[in-house]
């Protein structure tokens, strides 16, 4: 997986730590380690930074001067994209989808949104259910009309170029485990826009590492999520020169923990946030890692991981907590 073949702009603090979570492990009866991709550094860290290294590499190769992207109002991806643009002298235009329908002041103005504004991004909001691909095209056309050179990044940075960041993370996890003489039985991650999940699957498949990845869904139903991840994992493997490396059996998503919908918090998510914080001091977010931990807790209690060593990929997002104070604060 000679990733130096692909243009790349270094943004992240790598390698991120692979740490044991002893008190959480004791609470759940499963040996849990955490891959700390909340520690990637850019704008407070998170998984999108790895993707943006390759996406910005391509953007500079194309002589772009403006990044154009989209996400939900409290998007971690948008925050990190705005920061990457600021750090490299690029303009940034973002489209925020009012996906959850929340009008709470903390949700619409605090957390990631406050940071988007701090990094100087141009912000446009659209109603939930808007065709976001069409909105990206529209914004890119507007940038061109005023003489700019846009580079369009899909939601979550989730295309084959962005997924290379998690091919690299797969390599990093395996190398880190080997250095610790640790056998990994399973990797658990949140799965949403598919790029992180797909990159891990593709990277592990191309390496022949034979470590299963379980994606805990945060938005789409199981069949749709697995279809999205499989398609992108195959595209990523093809980019690496191994188009047949990924099989359908490698892509597994459990979408039983979405709750009432994307970005909507329930009691089990708050319990997961609280357990991680009060056992090993780990700060999760309500949208992605909180729901992934909700699923991990339920599955561990059901005996799904008995006798296994599980690596939980922490994809960051704690900045979004400040957009949910009105929903979470009263429960703590």
Q: Of the listed 25, 75, 102, 158, which one is catalytic?
A: 75
Tokens of 257: 């923990």
Using an 8 Å Cβ cutoff, are 276 and 282 in contact? yes
Q: Is 75 considered catalytic here?
A: yes
User: Under 8 Å CB-to-CB from 305, ≥6 apart: which residues?
Assistant: 30, 185, 186, 296, 299
Task: State the DSSP code for 168.
Answer: H
Task: For residues 153 and 57, give the distance between their C-alpha atoms in angstroms, rounded to a whole number.
Answer: 12
What is the rounded CA–CA span in Å between residue 227 and residue 242? 19
Nearest C-alpha neighbor of 225 from the set 260, 262, 186, 271: 262
Q: Beta-carbon neighbour count of residue 62 at 10 Å?
A: 11
* Cα 189 from Cα 247, distance rounded (Å): 19
Active site residues per annotation: 75
């Amino acid at each position: 997986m000679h990733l130096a073949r692909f243009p790349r702009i270094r943004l992240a603090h790598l390698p991120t730590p692979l740490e044991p979570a002893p008190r959480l492990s004791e609470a759940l009866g499963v040996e849990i380690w955490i891959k700390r991709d909340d520690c990637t550094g850019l704008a407070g860290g998170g998984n999108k930074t790895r993707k943006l290294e390759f996406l910005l590499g391509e953007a500079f190769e194309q002589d772009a001067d403006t990044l154009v992207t989209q996400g939900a109002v409290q998007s971690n991806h948008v925050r990190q994209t705005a920061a990457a643009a600021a750090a490299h002298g690029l303009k940034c235009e973002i489209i925020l989808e009012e996906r959850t329908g929340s009008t709470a002041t903390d949700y619409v103005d605090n957390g990631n949104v406050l940071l988007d504004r701090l990094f100087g991004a141009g912000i446009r909001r659209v109603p939930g259910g808007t065709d976001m691909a069409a909105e990206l095209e529209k914004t890119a056309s507007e940038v061109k009309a005023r003489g700019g050179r846009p580079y369009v990044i899909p939601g979550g940075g989730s295309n084959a170029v962005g997924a290379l960041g998690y091919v690299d993370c797969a390599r990093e996890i395996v190398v880190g485990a080997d250095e610790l003489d640790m056998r990994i039985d399973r990797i658990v991650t949140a799965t949403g826009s598919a790029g992180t999940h797909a990159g891990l699957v593709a990277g592990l498949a191309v390496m022949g590492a034979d470590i299963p990845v379980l994606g805990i869904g945060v938005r789409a139903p199981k069949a749709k999520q697995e279809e999205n991840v499989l398609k992108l994992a195959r595209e990523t493997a093809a980019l690496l020169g191994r188009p047949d490396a990924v099989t359908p059996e490698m892509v597994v998503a459990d979408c039983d923990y979405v709750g009432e919908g994307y970005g909507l918090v329930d009691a089990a998510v708050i319990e997961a946030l609280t357990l991680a914080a009060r056992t090993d001091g780990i700060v999760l977010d309500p949208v992605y890692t909180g729901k992934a931990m909700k699923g991990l807790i339920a599955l561990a209690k059901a005996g799904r991981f008995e006798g296994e060593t599980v690596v939980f990929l922490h994809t960051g997002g704690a900045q979004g907590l400040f957009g949910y104070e009105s929903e979470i604060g009263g429960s703590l």
